[in-house]
């Protein structure tokens, strides 16, 4: 069962029906595909329930592969997807497991966590952190420094919490810290990001 709004590959119902996916490895080291993994952008939206339990992003892009759709969707005030700039990470998901008959192992869903820090501590960004301290359900996408956008067409449904981090000592700076967790059977889809990021 998928616990999120993005889709996962189907798990085989019969052990003999699993088909191994294709793989692609480079023979030459210069052709190895790499991705800088640090999360540099977070895109937040509010979830909307259509009354039948179907959750969607209130202001999400019509086409997550389209630069123009994102340009229309991203608004830093009013109705729109918020574009946050910062430093983040996502480790491997935590997964429950239990041993069943014949020594077999059964795995449960995964809990994923994105940790994201904002160092541009404007008044508006401080108020965002204060609002997220309640523990708010969000729809979100995240992008890495390597240029990949994660989240799929519908985005990821997660719960965000936040805090304001003030360290002691000279040379320390305030940070807004956002943590988003979600449950799913797999990681979200990714694409080469169509969103132009200035550096």
Rg of the chain over all Cα atoms, to the nearest angstrom: 19
Does pLDDT of 1 surpass 50?
no
Q: Report which DSSP code applies to 67.
A: H
43 occurs within a structural domain: yes
In this structure, how many other beta carbons lie within 10 angstroms of the beta carbon of residue 187?
15
Give this prediction's pTM.
0.91
81 occurs within a structural domain: yes
131 occurs within a structural domain: yes
74 occurs within a structural domain: yes
Does pLDDT of 181 surpass 50?
yes
**Torsion of Cα atoms, 196 then 60 then 152 then 113, to 10°:** 90
117 occurs within a structural domain: yes
pLDDT tens by residue, 17-40:
788 889 999 999 999 988 899 999
84 occurs within a structural domain: yes
Helix (H) or strand (E) holding 159: strand 156-165
> What's the confidence (pLDDT) of residue 166?
97
10 occurs within a structural domain: no
> What's the confidence (pLDDT) of residue 186?
94
The token duo for 57 is 């992003």
Structural domains of the chain, count: 1
- Domain range for 108 is 36-93+102-192
> What's the confidence (pLDDT) of residue 54?
87
Tally the C-alpha atoms within 13 A of residue 143's C-alpha that lie toward its C-beta. Answer: 22
């Amino acid at each position: 069962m998928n616990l999120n709004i993005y889709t996962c590959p189907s798990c085989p119902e019969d052990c003999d029906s699993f088909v191994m996916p294709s793989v692609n490895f480079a023979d030459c080291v210069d052709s190895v595909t790499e991705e800088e993994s640090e999360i540099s952008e977070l895109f937040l939206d509010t979830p909307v329930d259509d009354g039948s339990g179907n959750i969607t992003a209130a202001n999400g892009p019509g086409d997550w592969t389209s630069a123009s759709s994102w340009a229309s969707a991203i608004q830093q005030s009013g109705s729109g997807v918020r574009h946050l700039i910062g430093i983040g990470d996502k480790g491997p998901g935590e997964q429950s497991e239990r041993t069943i008959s014949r020594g077999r192992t059964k795995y449960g869903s995964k809990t994923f966590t994105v940790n994201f820090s904002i160092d541009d501590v404007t008044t508006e960004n401080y108020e965002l952190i204060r609002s997220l301290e309640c523990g708010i359900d969000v729809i979100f996408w995240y992008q890495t420094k390597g240029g990949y956008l994660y989240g799929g067409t519908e985005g990821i449904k997660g719960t965000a919490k936040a805090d304001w981090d003030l360290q002691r000592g000279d040379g320390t700076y305030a940070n807004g810290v956002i943590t988003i967790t979600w449950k799913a059977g797999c990681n979200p889809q990714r694409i080469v990001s169509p969103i132009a990021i200035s550096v």
